[in-house]
């Protein structure tokens, strides 16, 4: 569906060259929700803009649904863009047009007759849950409603790909979840390929099938979301995962408990799928003569399944603690010994 081959994008500044995207290889499958995450300046917005030809790569090839976006221009590019739609952080609505008129605008540009536009607009209004708001203007809408208009407008020409550029960053958490639920529903109903860029790991966890992590213009880690959450490899990925799995309050509480219990071995356990409900800790406590203190525990849901993590402090005879850790390994529990600061 989407293939990036050694994509590079450089910008000429007054006295130097800036590499925003650096030799990225990426494949996105048809019908999946693919997330690209990175902090500001990572290159993710530049990358996504090359998928619909808003930016041309300095080097490499961008192919979307068989069309090489990196080489076409003019009428061919305009036609290709009808199948690669985009929604934005700040909605980009036409403030002098009503909801229905905003949604109809791409159809007008495409030369669709009014008699054919109207049923399509009504269908899209139902799809995004804006019945009764057809004649409202953007100034009369909430942030979530504005983004629903943006989504409906992006779907007007029945695209194959929907690009989401920080589409929930301007929304409160509850509204963000409602928009993510809508995107998930659209993905399932229409088999629409969605590429979503964000700096929020909550967004990735909730709806994405796979994720690429960007840093300094490069993709430094990529994989199924569940696997990335279970076993992040790069320091930046671990920081993103900790946004969801370790809140500031929890970190402070763990730090306090560690200070109060300076002896022992800190370990982090990972459980996946059905294993999250198994009584492994109960067997551990019954089997070994050690003190087990649970410092943190949580269970999270990703698109690919459930995973849980527990941080323990094991105190007691050194040999007994070592055997306890070995027991956890033998039970198939992902176990990591945490170094104390």
Give the torsion sign (CA, 41, 252, 168, 310).
positive
- Rounded to a whole number of angstroms, the CA Rg of the chain reads 24
Domains 2-243 and 247-338 share a fold: no
Band (pLDDT 50/70/90 cuts) for residue 138 is: very high
Domain boundary assignment for the chain: 2-243, 247-338
Q: Over range 81-96, report the average pLDDT.
A: 91
- Residue 332's pLDDT is 77
The pLDDT of residue 266 is above 90? no
Whole-angstrom distance, CA of residue 279 vs CA of residue 271 = 11
What count of other Cβ atoms lies within 10 Å of the Cβ of residue 171?
19
DSSP 171: S
**Which of the four CATH numbers 3.40.50.300, 3.40.50.2020, 3.30.465.10, 3.30.930.10 does domain 2-243 have?**
3.40.50.300
- Count of residues for the chain? 341
- Residue 270's pLDDT is 78
Phi first, then psi: give them for residue 33, nearest 5 degrees.
-105, 110
The pLDDT of residue 57 is above 90? yes
Whole-angstrom distance, CA of residue 220 vs CA of residue 22 = 11
- Residue 244's pLDDT is 75
Q: What pTM did the predictor assign?
A: 0.82
Alpha helices, H only, 39-172: 44-49, 74-81, 99-109, 114-127, 143-155
**Per-residue model confidence as pLDDT tens digits over 241-260:** 887 766 555 566 566 666 66
Band (pLDDT 50/70/90 cuts) for residue 51 is: very high
Whole-angstrom distance, CA of residue 40 vs CA of residue 54 = 19
**Which of the four CATH numbers 3.30.70.260, 3.40.50.300, 3.40.50.720, 3.40.140.10 does domain 247-338 have?**
3.30.70.260
**Per-residue model confidence as pLDDT tens digits over 288-337:** 999 888 877 777 777 777 777 788 889 888 899 889 988 988 887 888 88
Whole-angstrom distance, CA of residue 234 vs CA of residue 28 = 21
In contact, 53 and 82? CB cutoff 8 Å? no
- Residue 308's pLDDT is 75
């Amino acid at each position: 569906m989407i293939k990036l081959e050694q994509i590079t994008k450089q910008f000429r500044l007054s006295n130097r060259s800036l590499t925003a995207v650096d030799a990225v290889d990426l494949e996105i499958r048809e019908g999946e929700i693919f997330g690209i995450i990175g902090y500001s300046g990572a290159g993710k917005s530049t990358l996504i803009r090359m998928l619909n030809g808003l930016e041309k790569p300095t080097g490499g090839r961008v192919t979307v649904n068989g069309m090489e976006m990196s080489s076409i221009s003019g009428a061919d590019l305009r036609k290709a863009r009808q199948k690669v739609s985009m929604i934005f952080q700040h909605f980009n609505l036409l403030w002098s047009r009503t909801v229905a008129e905003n949604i109809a605008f791409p159809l007008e540009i495409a030369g669709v007759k009014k008699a054919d536009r109207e049923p399509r607009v009504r269908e899209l209004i139902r799809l995004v849950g804006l019945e009764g708001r057809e004649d409202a203007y953007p100034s009369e809408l909430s942030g979530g409603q504005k983004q629903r208009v943006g989504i409906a407008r992006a779907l007007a020409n029945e695209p194959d790909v929907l690009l989401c550029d920080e589409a929930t960053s301007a929304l409160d958490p509850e509204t963000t979840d409602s928009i993510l639920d809508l995107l998930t529903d659209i993905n399932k109903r229409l088999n629409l390929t969605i590429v979503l860029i964000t700096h929020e790991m909550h967004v990735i966890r909730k709806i994405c099938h796979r994720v690429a992590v960007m840093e300094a213009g490069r993709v430094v880690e990529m994989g199924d979301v569940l696997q990335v959450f279970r076993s992040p490899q790069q320091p930046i990925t671990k920081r993103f995962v900790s946004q969801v799995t370790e809140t500031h309050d929890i970190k402070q509480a763990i730090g306090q408990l560690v200070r109060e219990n300076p002896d022992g071995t800190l370990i982090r356990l990972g459980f996946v799928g059905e294993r999250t409900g198994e009584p492994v800790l109960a067997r551990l406590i019954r089997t070994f003569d050690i003190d087990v203190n649970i410092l943190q525990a949580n269970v999270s849901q990703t698109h690919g399944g459930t995973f849980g993590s527990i941080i323990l402090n094991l105190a007691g005879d050194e040999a007994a603690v070592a055997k306890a850790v070995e027991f956890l390994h033998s039970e198939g529990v992902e176990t990591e010994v945490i170094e104390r600061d």
